Amino acid sequence: MALFEVKDLQKKYYAAGEGVDTQVLFDLNFSIDRGEFVSIMGPSGSGKSTLLHIIGFLDGHTGGEYYFNGKKYEDYGENEIANVRNKEMGFVFQQFNLLPKQTVYENISLPLVYSDIPEKEWDNRIKEVIETVGLTHRLDYQAYKLSGGEKQRVAIARALVNNPDVIFADEPTGNLDSKSGEAVMKTLERLHSEFGHTVILITHEIATAERANRMIYIKDGKIESDKKVRKSKNQESIKIK
């Protein structure tokens, strides 16, 4: 059974009064299995972030069907959706969304406040995920003192702290230099290959998209291609089947 499945999925924004309605997504069909590393790639304005918001339960669709873990979107109640987002999904955004005056430790702890995980377990969880992203030495730093790449890795650690199955990464390297971006991508690859997380990566950069094992290309709200990424053993050349 697919973890994510969409059938003829549509998204339209309705304008008030005599405004013009705007259709963003048109009849999308695909499924994603648990444990896949998939990039959703396309130019700015193609609808890829809108799609992430729908499958991440951050927004609703206006046509077609969406199933998460075999259950139809409309069959989820509000509390159930909140629980899915908190327990089964972790989100990493381009702008990091860290609290600048709070420490790395405090930023990572935020999702735990809204979870049912006993407080006595928080410290171990926080230290485990910060070690996973290689920033144990920054645990007591205030977020504003970190580099861009370090901030994004803290955001990844925060997304991991509830041990979700799915990591959504929306343009995670968009604000980073090439060295920092490479560190972030290696972290995402490790989460998939070593820890088995389902990773869904949103990007407009072809080189970043090709780091995944499968690439869905969206243009003007429609899927233009959905292909496996074939990588060489040394990862130096990547070809699309």
The CATH number covering residue 153 comes to 3.40.50.300
| Cβ atoms of 213 and 36 closer than 8 Å | yes
Bridge partner residues of 117 (DSSP): none
Q: Is the pLDDT of residue 220 over 90?
A: yes
**Percentage of the chain modeled with pLDDT above 90:** 82
Look at residue 241 in the predicted model and tell me its pLDDT.
34
pTM equals 0.89
Give a yes or no: residue 235 inside a domain.
Answer: no
The mean pLDDT of 184-211, rounded to a whole number, is 94
Q: Is the pLDDT of residue 111 over 80?
A: yes
Look at residue 95 in the predicted model and tell me its pLDDT.
87
Look at residue 69 in the predicted model and tell me its pLDDT.
95
Give a yes or no: residue 20 inside a domain.
Answer: no
Q: Is the pLDDT of residue 239 over 50?
A: no
Give a yes or no: residue 12 inside a domain.
Answer: no
The model's pLDDT over 138-167, given as tens digits with 9 standing for 90+, comes to 999 999 999 999 999 999 999 999 999 999
Q: How many CB atoms lie within 10 A of CB 58?
A: 15
Confidence of residue 240 (pLDDT cuts 50, 70, 90): very low
Q: How many domains does the chain contain in total?
A: 1
* DSSP-H helix ranges across the chain: 48-55, 78-87, 104-113, 122-132, 148-160, 178-193, 206-209
For residue 212, give the amino acid letter: A
CA–CA dist 133, 153 (Å, integer) = 6
Q: Is the pLDDT of residue 235 over 70?
A: no
CA distances from 181 to 48, 177, 185, 208 (A): 20, 6, 6, 9
Look at residue 232 in the predicted model and tell me its pLDDT.
55
What 8-state DSSP symbol labels residue 155? H
Give a yes or no: residue 59 inside a domain.
Answer: no
Look at residue 135 in the predicted model and tell me its pLDDT.
93
Of residues 67, 32, 37, the one with CA closest to residue 186: 37
Give a yes or no: residue 18 inside a domain.
Answer: no
The mean pLDDT of 202-209, rounded to a whole number, is 94
Q: How many CB atoms lie within 10 A of CB 68?
A: 22
What is the span of the domain harbouring residue 106?
35-52+79-230
The mean pLDDT of 105-123, rounded to a whole number, is 92
